[in-house]
Amino acid sequence: MNDLNIRKSGRAGRITFARPKALNALSHDMALAIHRALDDWRDDADVELVIIDAEGDRAFCAGGDIAAVYRAGLAGDHALGQRFFADEYRMNAAIADYPKPIVAFMGGFVMGGGVGVGGHASHRIVGDSTLIAMPESGIGLIPDVGGTWLLSRAPGRIGEYLALTGARMGAGDAIHAGFADTYLPESQWPDLIARLEATGDLSLIEGEDAPSAPLRTRDLSAFAQDTVADIVDALEQAGDAQTLKVLAANSPLSMAAGLAMVRAARGDRRMQDSLAREYRFTYRATQNSDFLEGVRAQIIDKDRKPWWMADASPAHVAAILAPLGPHELTLEEPA
């Protein structure tokens, strides 16, 4: 397909995002194609490792291509979004479980769906242009694609902070928070990729000292509070006007659910458990959340003025995260 360049080169299976003008946004078809490629290479003796990178210098993958989900949900078709999220999450799980090394070169924007591809790879390389974020609270969704799992493993209260604010991390913060492993200047990436293709030798991945990690020393104690309202109160007492402004712009339901999900994920044994919980929200998102309004305001009309209306009460958070019965996420291979 034109949006991905999937091929074998030397000892590597290669997947390259190839829609740089769209910031390599991940469509439903792209998610399926990535999963199929991984399945094809699983038992291929010629493929010793998989390398995932992207064309262009602005983005590895800036998120999911959710315009079609928006249009369908607006027309009352909620099944299209449910299929998209289920297939995307199955692909995320396949990356996390893959029996061969996967090396992701994450330059530029790595957000939402991009984190779901690169963030679960076995070897995650970042550079000076890298900006990683889970900004879903700003579009009425929650950190998904296994994002709550990654956030729950971040030190201290970084997970809650990133989930509620959608803040962007540079290379140093991404490594500190557990979203990446190795810093390497991007000028060195082509040579490393060529050598990995030729040899399959992972010992060639030798990073350099990462840039500073501001999150390492930032006081995020406010995000230890029990509820979003309590977090806001603590930030007001601390005089953190900048963070308060960000929270005021995001969906109250998304923040309340995201907070609960990051904390619940700390008890999960596997990333797939977190994915299943995320799917409960996204399965219902086009009907019972602020998702359609958030996409309208931020992506479709781009007026940046969402009118948040969804119920953010504890009862509704519990309801939107309740088990789906026969519709629970399953992680079988794609057809």
Q: How far apart are CA 199 and CA 233, in angstroms?
A: 55
Q: How far apart are CA 125 and CA 73, in angstroms?
A: 36
Is 144 designated active site?
yes
Task: Check 53, 65, 136, 290 and give the catalytic one.
Answer: 136
Q: How far apart are CA 174 and CA 8, in angstroms?
A: 29
Task: Check 81, 113, 119, 147 and give the catalytic one.
Answer: 113
Residue with tokens 């029996």: 99
Q: What is the DSSP letter of 3?
A: T
Beta bridge partner(s), residue 103: 51, 123
Q: How far apart are CA 72 and CA 83, in angstroms?
A: 12
Residue type, 253: L
First-to-last C-alpha distance (Å) of the chain: 17
Secondary structure of residue 59 in the 3-state scheme = strand
Tokens of 270: 């596997």
Q: How far apart are CA 256 and CA 179, in angstroms?
A: 23
Task: Check 48, 53, 65, 144 and give the catalytic one.
Answer: 144
Helices (H), the chain: 28-41, 67-74, 79-97, 113-118, 147-152, 158-165, 171-177, 189-199, 228-238, 241-249, 252-265, 271-288, 291-295, 314-320
The three-state DSSP-derived secondary structure of 315-326 is HHHHHHCCCCHH
Q: b or e along 26-46 (b: 16 or more beta carbons within 10 Å of the residue's beta carbon)?
A: bbbebbbbbbbbbeebeeeee
Continuous segment of H or E residues that includes residue 5: strand 4-9
Task: Check 13, 63, 64, 81 and give the catalytic one.
Answer: 64
Active site residues: 64, 113, 136, 144
